[in-house]
Amino acid sequence: MYILGIETSCDDTAAAVIEAKGGLAKPSFSVLANTSYSQVAIHKKFGGIVPNLASRAHLEKIIPTIKETFKIAKKKPENIDLVAVTRGPGLLPSLLIGVNIARALAYRFRKPIIGVNHIEGHIYSNWLTNKKIGFPALILVVSGGHTELILMKDYGKYKIIGQTLDDAAGECFDKTARLLKLGFPGGPAIAAEAARYKIQDTRYKVNLPRPMFNSKDYNFSFSGLKTAVLYLYNDLIRKYPAKEIRPAIAAEVQNAIVDVLKAKTVKAIKNLNPKTMMICGGVSANKKLREEMAGKTNPYKIPLFIPDFAYTTDNAAMVAAAGYFNYLMKKPAQNSWKKIEANANLKL
Ligand code: KG4
Ligand code: ZN
């Protein structure tokens, strides 16, 4: 079946057309078009996302983005069998744009519609490029708004075993990048600055804490790291030029975040014995994290799945894939254009 996916939960206006087949027994996908309009240029000068500007930009771009997607996919709305749209969690003014255009399309073309949880979208992004994913699967969701360790027992069956108690990992990248004046979004900026770091300057030490590294649970905390960066930067900037200390701090921030994410994931694998392991969400685009999880130091023997780069940050192909699984599982709620509604705090 052909599925139109729509995603506007944050600052990307995204649409996709995918072909899905195989059912729950043998799901497989081909992405015919995966289009996205990024609002980074709009929010950059504010150092973060401004919800009302995001909503206005979604409104302006959603129809051109969907039109372009159909053109690339060489499909028409009439060819679509299902409309899938992110209905939460996210910024309400942003979600409303996607949800309402999806409702209008479903009504006009008499198509079934499914409201998708954005986190579920990130989880199913792994199925777009990987096929044999065994259950139970341990999933590390790392994005701008979420840091969660989830045990997925089967399609649609999730147990959150750990989560951040304050800031998300992506938020920590974004906030520390802002402190270091590296720009927005912070994740790619920190990663690029860290790549410039060569050797430890012996005149000073750049050591940041690994919050909750040794705690007995699977939870995370990143807000203290941001404060530690603030003190460290303020101390060093009085003595050394910014261009010398920034790469060192960026590399240490990245290492600290990756160390904690990896330690908790490894602990969960040891204790819970899942069949497979996955990472997803915007931060899973991070090269250091991908290498650490997959590299030679990998202490676990279970298969690791990471989505292709194109499906790590927010995109609509993942929403379409999640729509397929929800459709197959006949999730009763939110399947008619009359009922579907945005929910900024939607739970998994
Ligand atoms: O999944 P996503 O696109 O949106 C949310 O659902 O939040 O994730 C966005 C987050 C941002 O915090 C961004 O800084 C982070 O993902 N990110 C990265 C990288 N690319 C994006 N973090 C670390 N390294 C990257 N290369
Ligand atoms: Zn996301």
Burial class (CB in 10 A: 0-12, 13-18, 19+), 155: middle
Residue with tokens 């069998």: 81
| CB 282 less than 6 A from any atom of ligand 1 | yes
Q: What is the pLDDT of residue 9?
A: 97
Burial class (CB in 10 A: 0-12, 13-18, 19+), 167: buried
pLDDT per position as a tens digit, 288-313: 999 998 865 566 778 999 999 999 99
Instruction: Give the tokens for residue 254.
Output: 């990245």
Kindly give, in sequence order, each residue whose CB lies less than 8 Å from that of residue 61, ignoring residues fewer than 6 positions away: 13, 37
Residues with CB under 5 A from ligand 2 (ion): 143, 314
Task: Give the pTM.
Answer: 0.94
Q: Model confidence at 199, in pLDDT bands (50, 70, 90)?
A: confident
Q: What is the pLDDT of residue 47?
A: 82
Ligand that comes closest to the CA of residue 184? 1
Q: How crowded is the C-beta side of 285, counted as CA atoms within 13 Å?
A: 23
Q: Model confidence at 200, in pLDDT bands (50, 70, 90)?
A: confident
Separation between Cα atoms, residue 147 and residue 169, nearest integer Å: 6
| CB 285 less than 6 A from any atom of ligand 1 | yes
Q: What is the pLDDT of residue 332?
A: 56
Average pLDDT over residues 250-268: 96
C-alpha 281 to ligand 1 mean position (Å): 7
| CB 148 less than 6 A from any atom of ligand 1 | no
Q: Which atom of ligand 1 is nearest to the CA of 254?
A: 23
Separation between Cα atoms, residue 243 and residue 92, nearest integer Å: 39
| CB 280 less than 6 A from any atom of ligand 1 | no
| CB 185 less than 6 A from any atom of ligand 1 | yes
| CB 334 less than 6 A from any atom of ligand 1 | no
CA 187 distance to own-chain centroid = 12
CA 201 distance to own-chain centroid = 34
Separation between Cα atoms, residue 38 and residue 197, nearest integer Å: 29
Which domains are delineated in the chain? Answer: 2-129+310-328 (3.30.420.40), 137-306 (3.30.420.40)
